């Protein structure tokens, strides 16, 4: 699976950085202005200390020995005014930079999040079978936020820090190359600490992301299954398991904090040693007239600007560690290909007859155990066939292949004589309607839950289907088509949700309707409503019906009895009962079960 990343990659991966920065290409003008603000900010950061040096060595020093101090005061006033202007310019440059960086990063990250979300929705069903929802949510939230930091608190601030460092080093060399050498003595140990910190910190951050995704996945699963948890009274067990997962997450977070906390004191200690050395040297140099007092003040101010970016590099480095780990996961997900992707220019007929066919199909979910073994099947247009059989016989697998959720290892699956791999995906989905056993309700209006935001479907279409399905009472009860349904359809009964699943499928007027245990969750009265509606609405359409309740398929044109991945029997209801085979056995068992509980 895409999230299983145990290898420790590069601290700085240029390939990932290039891909990430590609999302900023539409914002080139904003980036140019950001660079301008960085230039202005760097110049003002260096101009302030230089003006102080000029003031100390110029009018301040002259005023100490001059009889008439008026000219010195005028020069000092001018320098003070210039210093205030520099502060204002630095403030404006900083303000503009923050606004531009934030808005640009928000825009780019919005594009990336949309891209990631769209990519997720277009992946095949197998991907979601293997990857927990919580992990995917972590990719689109936490990991995306880490990349947002990478641009604002990472790249932009890194450029600013480097620019300030270069300017400061030049001015320090001009002021005193001896004191500059003392300051440079801390660079080799700083590099060593950074390298030691970097690899270990990135491993820790990788583990934090991994455990956080596991926690999110477990919470998501537990909340979705809250009814089952409450029913069986396993709250304490789930809480204990989550507490254990949280403890492992905490330990990994603490490990990351340890390396992070180790880096800062190391840098500060080295800074203190360099500062002490410079103060000692400067004291002797000033007394010996080798360095002026203004040069000392200049160097003292520059020393703060020299170490501040270096200390800031710790933050940049931390952001980089988090972001690279997140970028790996995000772009690995984006690189996950959909092996079942249909061509956008594929087969797209105006009208579909509804003929279905399977030709010598062999299919396995894991590539090891075959669930379908040489199945061949022909369904004529407007024919209604039912597929029955024991659990695990391969009934739902046939539906998965017809809908192109999976592809067979051998054989062909045809719709109107065309292999499903050659169909345009949107067209195939539009002409085949699947009614699953579980109806998913979106937290939106009743109208949108039925038409699923398909602009081709109007209110009149939805209202007509609701009347056909006997759901007009539900429409009045919830407050009309624009009434918002509760999350997961909590305000609806099981039967109402199942009837809405029929409405969602039938409003599209498909050529093929597939029912996968679609009446298993409804009561007898609701089932009669469904059967009456289905007899009218299935007329003229191909239907494939999977059902365990054999009473619901008596009127099917043909019944296929599946067993161990093969078609064991075929015929209509009466023919199969006369044969006395597997279907008759299943029918007898179900009849005896109903008698026992009646």
DSSP string, 191-213: HHHHHHHHHHHHHHHHHHHHHHH
Residues 43 and 38: their CA atoms lie apart, in Å, by 9
- DSSP string for residues in 548-588: S-GGGGTT-SEEEEEETTEEEEEE-HHHHHHHTSHHHHHHH
Listed residues 334, 364, 393: the one ending a domain: 334
Q: Which helix (H) or strand (E) holds 522?
A: none
Give the C-alpha distances (Å, rounded to integers) separating 542 from 381, 434, 459. Answer: 5, 12, 26
Domain match, 286 and 430 both? no
Task: For 127-159, write each residue's pLDDT tens digit.
Answer: 877 777 767 777 777 788 888 777 777 778 778
For residues 292 and 419, membership in a common domain is answered with no
Residue 379 dihedral angles phi and psi, to the nearest 5°? -120, 120
Contact indicator for 549, 520 with CB cutoff of 8 Å = yes
Same domain for 324 and 373? Answer: no
Are 324 and 360 in the same domain?
no
Whole-structure pTM value: 0.68
pLDDT of residue 521: 58
Reference 240, options 218, 269, 211, 259; nearest CA is: 218
Q: Are 115 and 299 spatial neighbours (Cβ–Cβ below 8 Å)?
A: no
Distance CA 189, CA 266 (A): 9
Do 365 and 296 share a structural domain? no
Residues 518 and 460 in one domain: yes
141 falls within a domain: yes
Put residue 533 in one of left, alpha, beta given phi > 0 → left and psi -120 to 50 → alpha. alpha
Establish if 342 belongs to a structural domain. Answer: no
Percent of the chain surpassing pLDDT 90: 8
- List strands edge to edge, sheet with 566-571: 432-435, 512-516, 542-546, 384-388, 558-563, 566-571
Residue 343 lies in a domain: no
4 within domain boundaries: no
Assess contact for 406 and 126: CB atoms under 8 A: yes
Tally of domains within the chain:
2
597 pLDDT higher than 80:
no
Question: Does the pLDDT value for residue 189 go beyond 70?
Answer: yes
Partners of residue 544 on adjacent β-strands: 385, 514
488-516 per-position pLDDT tens digit: 666 677 777 777 888 888 888 888 989 88
The CATH number of residue 260's host domain is: 1.20.1560.10
The Cα–Cα gap between 330 and 294 comes to 52
Placement of tokens 């697998």 in the chain = 397
What CATH number does the domain containing 419 carry? 3.40.50.300
Give the pLDDT score at 488. Answer: 66
Per-residue pLDDT band at 524 (split at 50, 70, 90)? low
- 27 and 131 co-located in one domain: yes
| 567 three-state secondary structure | strand
In this structure, the answer to whether residues 310 and 372 fall within a common structural domain is no
Residues 453 and 520 placed together within one structural domain of the fold: yes
Separation of alpha carbons 82 and 44, rounded Å: 11
Question: Whole-angstrom Cα distance, residue 573 to residue 560?
Answer: 10
Q: How far apart are CA 495 and CA 168, in angstroms?
A: 74
Q: Using the structure block, give the residue that is written with the tokens 């003002």.
A: 44
From CA 530, how far away is CA 539, in angstroms rounded? Answer: 14
Supply 597's token pair.
């509980």
Question: 457-463 — which CB contacts under 8 Å span 24+ positions?
Answer: 457/507, 457/508, 461/507, 462/503, 462/507
Could you tell me if residue 346 is inside a domain?
Answer: no
In this structure, the strands spanning 432-435 and 512-516 are: parallel
Task: Work out the burial of residue 359: count CB atoms within 10 Å of its CB; fewer than 13 is exposed, 13-18 middle, 19 or more buried.
Answer: middle
Greater confidence (405 vs 521) lies with 405
pLDDT at 98 over 60: yes
pLDDT tens readout for residues 324-367: 778 888 888 888 877 666 566 778 888 888 899 999 999 988 77
Cα–Cα distance between 141 and 545 in angstroms, integer?
40
CA–CA dist 525, 595 (Å, integer): 19
- The yes-or-no verdict on residue 380 having pLDDT over 80 is yes
Q: Which residues contact 75 (CB under 8 A, 6 or more apart)?
A: 58, 59
| Same domain, yes or no: 328 and 360 | no
Query: 3-state DSSP call for residue 216?
Result: helix
Residue 437 in any domain: the answer is yes
Q: What is the mean pLDDT of residues 560-571?
A: 88
The parent domain of residue 376 ranges over 356-597
Reference 113, options 138, 142, 144, 143; nearest CA is: 144
Asked if residue 533 and residue 420 are part of one domain, the reply reads yes
User: What is the rounded CA–CA span in Å between residue 43 and residue 92?
Assistant: 13
* Of 71-75, 430-434, 555-559, 594-598, the least confident: 594-598
The pLDDT of residue 3 is 43
User: Does residue 396 sit in the same domain as residue 360?
Assistant: yes
Q: Is residue 491 part of a domain?
A: yes
Kindly state whether residue 9 falls inside one of the protein's structural domains. Answer: no
Question: What residue spans of 353-458 are helical by DSSP H?
Answer: 395-402, 425-431, 446-451
Q: Residue 472 has which token pair?
A: 């007009």
């Amino acid at each position: 699976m895409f999230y299983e990343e145990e290898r420790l990659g590069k601290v700085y991966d240029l390939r990932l950085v290039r891909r990430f920065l590609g999302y900023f290409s539409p914002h080139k003008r904003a980036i140019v202005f950001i660079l301008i603000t960085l230039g202005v900010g760097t110049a003002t950061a260096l101009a302030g200390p230089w003006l102080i040096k000029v003031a100390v060595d110029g009018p301040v020093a002259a005023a100490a020995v001059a009889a008439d101090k008026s000219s010195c005061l005028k020069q000092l006033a001018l320098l003070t005014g210039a210093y205030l202007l520099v502060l204002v310019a630095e403030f404006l440059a900083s303000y503009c930079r923050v606004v531009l960086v934030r808005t640009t990063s928000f825009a780019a990250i919005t594009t990336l999040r949309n891209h990631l979300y769209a990519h997720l929705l277009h992946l095949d069903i197998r991907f979601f079978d293997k990857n927990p929802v919580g992990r995917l949510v972590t990719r689109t939230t936490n990991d995306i936020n880490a990349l947002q930091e990478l641009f604002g608190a990472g790249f932009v601030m890194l450029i600013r820090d480097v620019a300030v460092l270069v300017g400061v080093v030049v001015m320090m060399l001009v002021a005193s190359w001896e004191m500059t050498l003392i300051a440079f003595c801390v660079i080799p140990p700083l590099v060593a600490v950074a390298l030691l910190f970097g690899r270990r910190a990135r491993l820790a951050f990788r583990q934090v992301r991994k455990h956080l995704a596991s926690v999110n996945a477990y919470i998501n699963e537990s909340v979705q299954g809250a009814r089952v948890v409450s029913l069986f009274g396993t709250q304490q067990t789930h809480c204990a398991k989550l507490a254990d997962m949280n403890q492992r997450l905490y330990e990994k977070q603490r490990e990351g904090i340890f390396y992070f906390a180790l880096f800062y004191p190391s840098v500060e200690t080295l800074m203190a040693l360099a500062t002490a050395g410079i103060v000692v040297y400067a004291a002797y140099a000033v007394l010996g007239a080798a360095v002026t007092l203004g040069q000392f003040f200049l160097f003292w101010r520059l020393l703060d600007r020299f170490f501040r970016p270096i200390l800031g590099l710790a933050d940049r480095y931390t952001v980089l560690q988090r972001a690279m780990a997140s970028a790996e996961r995000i772009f690995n997900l984006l690189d996950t290909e959909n092996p079942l992707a249909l061509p956008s220019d594929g087969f797209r007929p105006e009208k579909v007859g509804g003929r279905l066919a399977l030709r010598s199909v062999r299919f396995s979910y894991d590539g090891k155990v075959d669930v379908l073994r040489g199945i061949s099947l022909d369904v004529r247009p407007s024919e209604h066939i039912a597929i029955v059989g024991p659990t695990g016989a391969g009934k739902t697998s046939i539906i998965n292949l017809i809908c192109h959720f999976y592809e067979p290892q051998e054989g062909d699956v045809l719709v109107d004589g065309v292999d499903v791999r050659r169909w345009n995906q949107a067209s195939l989905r539009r002409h085949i309607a699947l009614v699953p056993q579980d109806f998913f309700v979106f937290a939106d209006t009743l109208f949108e839950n039925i038409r699923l935001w398909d602009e081709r479907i109007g209110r009149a279409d939805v209202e007509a289907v609701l009347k056909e399905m006997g759901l007009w009472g539900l429409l009045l009860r919830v407050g009309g088509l624009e009434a918002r349904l509760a999350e997961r359809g909590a305000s609806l009964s099981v039967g109402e949700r199942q009837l809405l699943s029929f409405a969602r499928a039938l409003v599209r007027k498909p050529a093929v309707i597939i029912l996968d245990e679609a009446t298993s969750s409804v009561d007898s009265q609701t089932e009669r409503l469904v059967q009456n509606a289905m007899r009218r609405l299935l007329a003229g359409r191909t239907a494939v019906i999977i059902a365990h309740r054999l009473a619901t398929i008596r009127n099917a044109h043909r019944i296929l009895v599946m067993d161990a991945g093969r078609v064991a029997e075929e015929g209509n209801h009466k023919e199969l009962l006369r044969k006395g085979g597997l279907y008759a056995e299943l029918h007898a068992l179900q009849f005896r079960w109903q008698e026992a509980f009646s």
